[in-house]
Amino acid sequence: MIDPRGAPAWQQLAALLRARIEAGEWPPGALLPPAPRLRHEYGVGKATVKAAVDALRSDGLVDLERGIGMRVREPVVRERVPVPRAALITARPPTPDERASMAIPEGVHVLEVTVGGRVRGVYPADRTALSTA
């Protein structure tokens, strides 16, 4: 399954897992096989599995729950947030405070809306769709 001469093994593994998730093999809310089993199944080391899983997590496909496993995330419904006129929209990594108060997973950025230099709103980038009037 994994070709040592091609792309890095962790990228190949991430692609394989992503395909199995999107094929519905593990529905939303289900747990993926634990890391040691994936290691055995694909014949790779721990670092490879970790890198692959990190990639899936940063893409918002799975959540890692300590002591539990890797859970497939529910499909996110993006909340529509209206944007005022003359606004500037930028994306940036969240501050530690924002990560805590909004429960923002690792690797997810925030959308910041400013008007005239004043911040009007900060939203998790994976759960938000900004709509202009």
Residue 98 partner contact from DNA, its own copies, none using kind-dependent CB cut-offs of 5 to 8 Å: none
Among 116, 117, 119, 111, CA closest to 92: 111
- Paired tokens of 32: 């993926």
Q: Find out whether 42 and 3 touch, Cβ atoms under 8 Å.
A: no
Residue 88 partner contact from DNA, its own copies, none using kind-dependent CB cut-offs of 5 to 8 Å: its own copies
Report CA torsion sign: 13, 49, 92, 74: positive
CB of 14 to its own copies, least distance (A): 11
Q: Residue 10, interface with DNA (CB under 7 A)?
A: yes
Q: Residue 48, interface with DNA (CB under 7 A)?
A: yes
Amino acid at 45: G
Q: Alpha-carbon distance 119 to 26, whole Å?
A: 40
Mark residues 66-95: x for contact with its own copies by CB under 8 A, - for none: ------------x-x--xxxxxxxxx-x--
| Binding segment (CB under 7 A) for DNA, from list 43-51, 77-85, 91-99, 118-126 | 43-51
- Paired tokens of 97: 């405070």
Contacts to its own copies by CB under 8 A: 58-60, 78, 80, 83-91, 93, 107, 109, 111, 125-126, 128-133
